[in-house]
Structure 1
Amino acid sequence: MIDYAQKNVYAKALSLLDEDVLYAFETPLCSSKKLTCKAVTCKKTYPSPEVYFQKFDAVMEEIKAGNTYMLNLTAQTKVEVSFDLKSLFYAAHAPFKLYFKDQFVAFSPERFVKIQANQIHTYPMKGTIDASVPNAEAVILGDEKEKAEHVMVVDLLRNDLSMVAKEVRVEKFRYIEKVHTSDKTLLQVSSHIQGTLDEQWHERIGDILSTLLPAGSISGTPKRSSVEIIERIEGYDRGFYTGIFGIYDGTMLDSAVLIRFLEKTDEGYVFKSGGGITVLSEAKKEYDEVCDKVYFPVF
């Protein structure tokens, strides 16, 4: 597990993994505690719209100045919940899940990279819409802002992979995935990018990850200047949120982005969420997306 700033790392042999660290990669889990959507109550105190709009405007000024073209702006939502983090880990329906020492739980829909048979794969996810919107799939795929944002992330990830792999190509572009929450269904847009590694990739896993981090979908492009802008504008420490976690078994590596993130702090529980900002973005829509992503995928 590597945090967003690449300053903190947790690494353990799977056989020696701490008992209070739980993970699941595309594996259904069952809990003895029957936590369902009926048992989930949550009071959300969303970020101040005025404060978010000020940060949005600051990002737009950076875009107009040519310092970034797409930037992932995140915020914190205070929540009061009726459940504990471990119960949520077991009950949440998500491709990639992590519970860490009663400090946070993540139920991520987004893979970072997967390496298998000398092939490296990444699946950038950009674009979210409530499935209840009439013709939601056509709306999200036809939205020019969402399309531009997704194209920029795909181009960034394609360039990132080109630094560690050969024969990099986009295998599938802008396809729809469903994400179910306790009170709604969301549609998210993903792409699949693939490249070829040499057979010695096992010996340089650390170099590969450090070259690709932070993930393009949660930073921006150009990456270096976007990261500097994020640090200056967001006003809080992301910590492990938007970092990555993964497993390596000697033959393959799989990893996911630490998003959909609920953290226990001294002041209570905080849910961290965000979205990509481009020159075509509208402040109210971006704020609504940040709020829509504060959910718990429990049926």
Structure 2
Amino acid sequence: MSAGSAEGADQQVHEQTVEQALDAIAAGTLEKVVVSRSEFWATHRAPEDVFRAKCAAYPDAFVYLFAHEVAGVWIGATPEVLLVREGNQFQTTALAGTKADEQRDWTAKERHEQALVSDFIEKNLRRRYASNVNIGRAKSITYGSLQHLKSNITFCSDRDVEFWLEALHPTPAVGGSPREKALNFIAEHEADDRAYYTGFLGTMEGDRASFYVNLRCMQCFADGFRLFAGGGIVKGSDPAKEWSETHDKIESIRAGIGA
């Protein structure tokens, strides 16, 4: 593995990007966009040790250690199902909104952020003639020290996995809304290269498949790891709070491996 770089968007740069996103939302160009950043963690811990720690810390997540000649070496413990298939039955999730305080109620802004993801998925399913579409009620789930809002979504289709992966990814949970305009904003304004962060990975065998969004992840280097996190920006978002959310997410990644 090559050496990593200590560069990454600092608080000022990240908050400026959030402010630019809010300007685009106020202008009506965007309804939501996910702004992400990364931090480099200098350490000589072996990727295999980190992977084992992740497996122990997150038994309900999809935990992986992945090596690819182009993407590099990655470790993650993602809570977000992108697509599960068994025969002609499919499942996906709409996951968005983050809070660290279990006692605090979800705000209208956070519920709106999650609803945008759920609505996007439902519209794409119905537009492509999925049958038996069922949208579950949004519920709180706990992931480490953080909570998120999640809706389980099921449907039936005779189309293959590749068709639905292309239709659904990226959802507004990692991109934004409208999708193409949000992706253009991310490409133009985000300071850090996402690389494989917010991509997807999984397994396929016969008519069964499981794919997950690459979140709560890190890229491995010879001298450390680059940790990634992002947050959804909608009307009413506060730049300082958005920085704090990414800080909490990155710290939860570190905490999950005993850092």
Q: Contact (CA 8 Å) 2:97, 2:148: kept in 1 or not?
A: yes
Counterpart of 2:64? Answer: 98
| Structure 1 counterpart of 2:103, from 135, 138, 147 | 135
Aligned residue for 1:216, secondary structure, equals coil
1:255/1:134 CA distance change after superposition, 3 Å = closer
Deviations 1:185-237 (A, max 9, x none): 22221111122112xx3xx3322222222233100111111111111111332
Q: 1:251 aligns with which of 187, 207, 223?
A: 207
Q: Once the two structures are superposed, what CA deviation does each residue of 1:250-296 show, in whole Å capped at 9, x if it has no partner?
A: 13111100011111358842111001000111111111111111123
Q: Which residue identity is paired with 1:52?
A: H
Please point out which of 72, 79, 103 is paired with 2:34. Answer: 72
1:186 aligns to 2:146 (yes or no): yes
**1:290 lines up with 2:255 in the alignment:** no
Matches within 5 A, 1:1-299: 47-81=9-43, 83-92=45-54, 93-94=57-58, 95-101=61-67, 103-130=73-100, 133=101, 135-136=103-104, 139=105, 141=106, 143-164=107-128, 165-170=130-135, 172-180=136-144, 185-198=145-158, 201=159, 204-265=160-221, 268-294=224-250, 295-296=252-253, 297-298=256-257
Q: Distance in 1 between matches of 2:187 and 2:80?
A: 23
**Secondary structure, aligned partner of 2:64:** strand
Query: Displacement of 1:148 after TM fit?
Result: 1.1
Q: CA deviation at 1:168?
A: 2.2
Gaps in structure 1 of 5+ consecutive residues: 1-43
Higher relative CO (Cα under 8 Å, sequence separation at least 6) belongs to 2
In 1, distance between residues paired with 2:150 and 2:19? 27
> How many equivalent residue pairs?
241
After TM superposition, give the deviation of residue 163 of structure 1 in Å: 3.9
Counterpart AA for 2:121: L
Tell me the TM-score normalized by structure 1.
0.74
Provide the C-alpha distance between the structure 1 equivalents of 2:174 and 2:118, rounded to a whole number of angstroms: 12
Change (3 A) 1:51 1:223: same
Residues 167 and 97 (structure 1), Cα distance of their counterparts in 2 relative to 1, 3 Å cut: same
CA distance in 2, matches of 1:228, 1:49: 22
Q: Could you tell me the percent identity over the aligned residues?
A: 23
Superposed CA offset, 1:159-203 (max 9, x none)? 222344223231x222111112xxxx22221111122112xx3xx
Query: In structure 2, the residue corresponding to 1:232 is in which secondary structure?
Result: helix
Q: Deviations over 1:119-169 (max 9, x none)?
A: 221112111212xx3613xx2x2x111011111111112122234422323
* Paired residue secondary structure (2:210): strand
Closer/same/farther in 2, CA of residues 237 and 117 from structure 1, 3 Å limit: same
- How far 1:109 sits from its partner (Å)? 1.1
In 1, the alpha carbon distance for the partners of 2:40 and 2:127 equals: 39
Amino acid at match of 1:189: L
| Letter paired with 2:185 | I
Normalising to structure 2: TM-score of the pair? 0.85
Separation of aligned partners in 2, 1:65 and 1:195: 36
Check whether the contact 1:129–1:186 (CA below 8 A) recurs between aligned residues.
yes
| 8 Å contact kept, 1:72–1:218 | yes
CA 1:208 to 1:134, structure 2 compared with 1: closer, same or farther past 3 Å? closer
